[in-house]
Amino acid sequence: MSQRGRLLLFLPSAAVLLFLLIDGLQRLTGFGHYPGPYGFVLNGVGVNQRHATNLVTAVNFDYRAFDTLGEEFILFTATTAIVLILRHMRGERERPSGDELRRENASEALRGMALAFVAALIVLGGYVVTHGALTPGGGFQGGVVLGCAAFLVFLAGEVVAMKRVAPEKLLEFADAAGAAGFALLGIGGLVFAGVFFQNFLDLGKPGSLNSAGTMPLVSISIGIEVAGAFLLVWTEFLDQAVLVRSGGGGSE
């Protein structure tokens, strides 16, 4: 079917879809008039029950931790799939590391600033991860910040510098350890308190760093996993774009 034929078929069905969407969405209660009791119940009891002040993290890592387990394993599986897809095909070889990999076109300002921010980003990432139960933050956000800190080493210099800071074996180990740590904390709830993902550690005082039971530990393990996964994906794309060159036979 030609391009124009596809467009002629799509436009009327898009109009019908738009009409059905708007008709369905306007049967919801209006914007701002939230009806359901679940949100109000959680807001009322969340701080007293779990001693956590950030209720979004409490919902993610405690009340609905089972859903977060599923999402985290989606992340793990997608990363494994990317590593599998970008494997070396027959006829490709890796360019030996040498002076041609130094980015001569990069400006000095970029490299200086990138180098200056690596340490600051590690501290910021650690802060966001450990204060997940207290202020806006948590494992997912802080994990990406930690991954970016290692990626800045590449921006400040060469590809081989980043590979020395974050070798692939370490990244794969971090990815798997984070995912396994989260599942083990759930099993810990089963072993020590009888219910899968029950909060089994001492709850502490709300507002202090050592509060909310297992939530800081879950946050740290998810932070390690997300940092490992993102760095692994970036390393794979960097390998493809900079290092891998196809040989004389080309693709098959």
Partner 1 sequence: MNEVFQAIAMVSMGIVGTAVVLARDPLRQALILGVYGMTMIVTFFALQAPDVALSAIVVTSVGLPPMVLLALRKLREYRREHEE
Partner 2 sequence: MTFLPYAVAAWLFVVGLYGIVTSRHLVHLAVCLTVVQSSTYLILLSTGYVRHGSAPIYADIPPVATAVDPVVQALTLTDIVVESTITALLLALAVQAMKRFGSVDPTFLRQLRG
For partner 2, the binding residues (CB under 8 A) are 3, 6-7, 10, 14, 17-18, 21-22, 25-26, 28, 30-34, 36, 38-39, 42-44, 46-48, 53-60, 64, 67-68, 71-72, 74-75, 78-79, 81-82, 85-86, 89, 134-136, 138, 140, 144, 207, 226, 229-230, 233, 236-237, 240, 246, 251-252
Kindly state the smallest distance separating residue 177's Cβ from partner 2, in Å.
18
Kindly state the smallest distance separating residue 122's Cβ from partner 1, in Å.
14
**Closest CB to partner 1 among residues 137, 213:** 137
First to last CA, the chain: 28
Burial of residue 15, with CB atoms counted within 10 A of its CB: 0-12 exposed, 13-18 middle, 19 or more buried: exposed
Strand partners, 92: 246
116 neighbors 126 (Cβ within 8 angstroms): no
Which residues are CB-neighbours of 115 under 8 A, at least 6 positions away? 152, 156, 157
**Closest CB to partner 1 among residues 13, 194:** 13
Half-sphere exposure of 131 (CA within 13 A, CB side): 12
Contacts to partner 1 from residues 179-238, by CB under 8 A: 230, 233-234, 237-238
Kindly state the smallest distance separating residue 251's Cβ from partner 2, in Å.
5
Query: Interior CA angle at 142 toward 140 and 143, to 5°?
Result: 65
Contacts to partner 1 from residues 43-72, by CB under 8 A: 54, 56-57
Q: Can you give the binding site for partner 1, defined by CB under 8 A? A: 54, 56-57, 128, 136-138, 140-141, 144-145, 148, 151, 230, 233-234, 237-238, 240-241, 245-246, 250
